[in-house]
Each structure stands twice: as C-alpha cells, then as structure tokens.
Amino acid sequence: MTKIGLIGLGTIGSGVVKILKENKTLITARTGTTIELKRVCDLDEKRAEMLGIRGIYSQNYKDLLNDPDISTIVEVIGGYEPARTIIIEAIRAKKNVVTANKAVIAKHGEEIFKAAEDNNVSIMFEAAVGGCIPIIKAIRESFAADKINRIYGILNGTTNYILTKMEEGLSYDQALKQAQELGFAEANPSFDVDGLDSAQKLKILSSLAFNAKIKDDILTWGITKINKSDIKYAKDLGYTIKLLAIAKEIDDEIELRVHPTMIPQTHELANIKNESNAIYLVGNNIDKAMLYGKGAGSMPTATVVVGDIIDIAKSSSITNYYSEEKKLKDINTITCRYYLRPNVLDKPGVFAMIADILGKNNISISGVSQKELGKDIVPITIITHNVRESDMMQAVDQINKLDVVKSKTVVIRIEDI
C-alpha cells in the first residue's frame, strides 16, 4: 500500500480524487498495489467538502509533509510559488513528488532534480507537458535508446483552438472567449496566446530529449498578430498556420523557438484540431513518431498524474535527470522561408520599395500576391526563399519604417517539415 498526500484540489486535484476513488479496484488489479489518499490540502476547505473528503483535509501543507505514513506528495497547485517551496520541502522530508506543474519544472527543474537525487526520492511530472499524452515517458523510457534530434510540438490547446476556430471563420476574440469558457485557457491568457506556456513545455521536452541544460532564451512569438486573412492566404498556398514549438539538435547546437508556423497541409500536425496537443519526434532509429491527445482538462491530466503515482508505488520511477551544458544556437543565424504581409498604400512604386529593401538584405522572393480589393490600403503577401533570420528581421524593420506601410508587417516562418 502507498499512502499519498495531495496538495491542491482545483481542476487536476479534484480529478485525482475522483480517479483514485472510482478506479480503485481497476488500479489494484492492474498494478497489484493499493493507493490510499491519506491527507489533502487546499486553501479552500469547501473544495474538500464538495469532494466528500473533509475528514482528511488540512489547511497547512506541512501536516502532510510531517505525516510519516505519507511516502508521496502530489503537488497540483501550479505556478512558481509556493509550489517550488512545497516541492523542495517535500523532497527534503524524503517524500517522492508527483507534480503537474510545468512552470516550476521549467524554471526550477535543475534545483528540484538535484534535491531529489540528493535525497534519494523520485520526482515525476508527466502531466506538465501535453496533458494526458505520455510524452515524458516516451522520451525518458520508450525512446531512451535513440538520439532524438527534432521535436515539433503543438503544446498549447488554447492557441490551437483559436487557430482552428479562425480557420472556421470566427474572429480571434470570439475564439479566445470560447477557449476561456471551455476552461483550458490559463488564468492569464497572455501565457497561452503569447507562446509562454508552449515555451515552458518546450524547455522541459528539449532538456529531456537532448540531455541538456536549457536557458530561458527561447525565441517566443505568440499568435496575436495573426488574422483571418493570413490563415486564408496560407491555405491558398497549401499551408496551415500552427503555433509550433520547435527544437532541433544539429551538430551539437540546440535550436529552440516557439512561433506561428506555416506547415504543409498534408503534414500530420496540420490535422491536429481544436484544443488537442501533439508532439512529433524525429530520431535516428525511430525515424518519426507522433503522440496525440488532450493537452488539458481535469480527467485527462489527472489520469497521468495517477499514472505517475502508480509508477512510484511500483518503484519503476526514474529519479536521475542528468543534463549537460550544450551550446544554444544563436537564433539570428537560423534560416528558413518566410511569409510576410505588409499592409500598404496602393500606389505606384510601393512594391518596388519593399522589393528593394528585401533585395538589399539578401532576401530572394519566391512568390508574391496582391488581391484587387479596391481599397486605399491593401495587404501584399510575400513568400521568400531560404533566408537568414538576422537579414529578415533587419528587412522587416526597414519595411515597417516606410511611410507607405500602414501597420506592422506580419511575419510567419515556414517549416517544410
């Protein structure tokens, strides 16, 4: 029997309580072990009452850490603090820890894994990335014998939902509102729409896949500048726009970026719709593998939290988390094709000015289009050949300074995966 303490009775915590109760027999039959919820903690006592577990409620997390019967603490409160303090204190109290907290693992992972190693306990965090998708297990265990060299992830359900709904005709604001109503958006939508949630998840995945210490300087662009016309132009060109988290290890250099990306409509990732998440891995031996599923939500996420608890109970968890210092690629040196959409005055010589700037910055145009809209200000869409990031950023800056350019140029990188 394994006795656990659960800290946090919100979306995921309440799911954990339900699963442990409803699937008790199933869990015992499948694993040969029993898991008992010994104590729970939350600031709000009413949550415990609503779940029918008032009898094991405590308002002070230290009660759980000081209980000698409890061998595993489950932290599902989220955020940096007090989550980090609780996890570190739990580890020092020689408790194993299961967490769903991507923020704390992305920011304080090194400290936490070191503490777990020093105290000979396990730290498990499957639910931190991709909701119910067992991507951490896939990288750390199933594919441990391979060298993974590329990761392409749709790691944020909210932005994928928004982009899907915009493809179906909703405006950005309407789609965001729906995502919030459905309950998978972060409390602060900026975390989702500005790409920060995806960047935290990418940091965790790339550290594991590349066995590397990753610093925080991940190029991170969100989806707020994308409008319906970009989605339509992309479609006409055979592409779909996704907020993609990209990690590559090439020649011992690691390249990390999160940004709206045009990917071929025929690619598997292009068909990941709504709030679903997917992670597409490329490895030397496995070639390509894609894992797909619900990236958020109470019961899907709680299921893998309980999976981690079971792993610990069966003593099949992994404590070690060795990471090497590796060189991070200077993002200015990456090359890719780009989609540009400046909104310009429709008058003679304007396109020539833009083409001149592109040419002077070593940028070769692969395709260009301007629809006849009968308006004074019109969008021009430009697709380039392979271009160096620093050249493109300089050119875009110069284009945006032209008097005839009336709003900031939309820039989308193209990834011919």
The span of 53-61, 150-158, 222-230, 334-342 binding ligand HSE (CB under 6 A) equals: 150-158
Smallest gap from residue 53 Cβ to ligand HSE (A): 24
If the CB atoms of residues 105 and 411 are measured against ligand HSE, the closer one turns out to be: 105
CB of 210 to ligand HSE, least distance (A): 22
Under rule CB under 6 A, residue 222 binds ligand HSE:
no
Measured in Å, how far apart are the chain's first and last C-alpha atoms? Answer: 47
Residue 32 CB, nearest approach to ligand HSE (Å): 32
Decide whether 259 or 329 has the Cβ nearer to ligand HSE.
259
- Which range of residues in 28-36, 154-162, 279-287, 367-375 is near ligand HSE by CB under 6 A? 154-162
**C-alpha distances out from residue 24 to 8, 31, 32, 306, Å:** 20, 11, 11, 11
295 is an interface residue for ligand HSE by CB under 6 A:
yes
Closest approach, Cβ 186 to ligand HSE, in A, equals 4
Q: Counting contacts by CB under 6 A, is residue 157 touching ligand HSE?
A: yes
**Using the rule CB under 6 A, is 243 a contact of ligand HSE?**
no
Return the residues of window 164-203 that contact ligand HSE according to CB under 6 A.
184-186, 192, 197
Residue 156 engages ligand HSE in binding (rule: CB under 6 A): yes
Q: Which is nearer to ligand HSE, 152 or 184 (CB)?
A: 184
Determine, following the binding rule CB under 6 A, whether residue 126 of this chain makes contact with ligand HSE. no
| Interface with ligand HSE, residue 11, by CB under 6 A | no
**324-363 mask for ligand HSE (x: CB under 6 A)?**
----------------------------------------
Contact 136, 159 (CB under 8 A): no
- Count residues contacting ligand HSE (CB under 6 A)? 10
The nearest distance, CB 272 to ligand HSE, in angstroms, is: 12
Smallest distance, Å, CB 127 to ligand HSE?
A: 9
Which residues are part of the catalytic machinery? 201
Binding site for ligand HSE (CB under 6 A): 156-158, 184-186, 192, 197, 295-296
